[in-house]
Amino acid sequence: MLLDGKTGLIIGVANKHSIAWAIAQSAASQGAKLFFNYQGERLRENVEELIATMPGAKAFPCDVGDDAQIAALMQNVGKETPKIDFLVHSVAFAPREELTGQFVNTTRQGFATALDVSAYSLVAVTKAALPLMTDGGSVVTLTYLGAERVVPHYNVMGVAKAALEATVRYLAHDLGPKNIRVNAISAGPIKTLAARGVSGISKMVDHHREFAPLRRATEQGEVGDTALFLVSPLGRGITGEVIYVDGGYHILGSLASPD
């Protein structure tokens, strides 16, 4: 059992399709004890129902846009366990109208919200978790190729993911001396609640299935197992990295063809 005796905090489960839930299942299958957040009362029941099957798992409210809620989350987790070994940040948000049409129409408020919830929140939750990461640790966040390449309609979320990936490197530099590793997984498109906010997501998944070297759509479980690797001792030499779990899609040039 790779995570025997290890404890993790998973931020970002909304429902059974959430990437965070797949990560939780992979981690739990290797013996991890897990704590969760739920974004608000609306999601509480969903999350509590899901985690009911996991021995010892508990969930607490936390909107990552609010420092007081982040502090309360860490306090609640701290009452249950003296330390955590890993933290999963699987959260993103941009107003729906920003994820359709052209990027040039991005509003100041939409830009600020997307960057705050999707990128700054990694700094906020990592900093707040430090007092619980007394024995080193591993932080994993989720990103997407739209950080580096233009993906129509991904728009301001691409800019937020670029900021998130840079944040991973700066945090990795700061926290390496404490033996805390910080990495991102760049997942291929998967139809989750958040992804449904990006107009054209079905087309993106189909395109991926047709052109990705592995000729299939990315599945949550593939991302979950890579996160398991990163938070386990197997990933002990890796920090500041973006690992692609996208069936190889990101290696393609524009003229790559399925034939």
Ligand X SMILES: NC(=O)c1ccc[n+]([C@@H]2O[C@H](COP(=O)([O-])OP(=O)(O)OC[C@H]3O[C@@H](n4cnc5c(N)ncnc54)[C@H](O)[C@@H]3O)[C@@H](O)[C@H]2O)c1
Residue 50 in the binding site for ligand X (CB under 6 A):
no
Residue 142 in the binding site for ligand X (CB under 6 A):
yes
Nearest distance from C-beta of residue 28 to ligand X, angstroms: 17
Residue 72 in the binding site for ligand X (CB under 6 A):
no
User: Distance (Å, rounded) from C-alpha 142 to C-alpha 204?
Assistant: 18
| Residue 144 designated active-site | yes
Residue 13 in the binding site for ligand X (CB under 6 A):
yes
Q: Which of 38, 154, 244, 249 is catalytic?
A: 154
User: Distance (Å, rounded) from C-alpha 72 to C-alpha 242?
Assistant: 30
Site residues (CB under 6 A) for ligand X, limited to 159-198: 187, 189-190, 192-195
The SS3 call for residue 12 is coil
Nearest distance from C-beta of residue 18 to ligand X, angstroms: 3
User: Distance (Å, rounded) from C-alpha 221 to C-alpha 73?
Assistant: 26
The string of DSSP codes covering 188-247 is PP---TTGGGSTTHHHHHHHHHHHSTT-S---HHHHHHHHHHHHSGGGTT--S-EEEEST
Residue 63 in the binding site for ligand X (CB under 6 A):
yes
Shorter beta-carbon distance to ligand X: residue 90 or 177: 90
Rg (the chain; Cα; Å) = 18
Q: Which residues of the chain form contacts with ligand X (CB under 6 A)? A: 12-14, 17-20, 39, 43, 63-65, 90-93, 117, 142-144, 187, 189-190, 192-195
Q: Show which residues are catalytic.
A: 144, 154
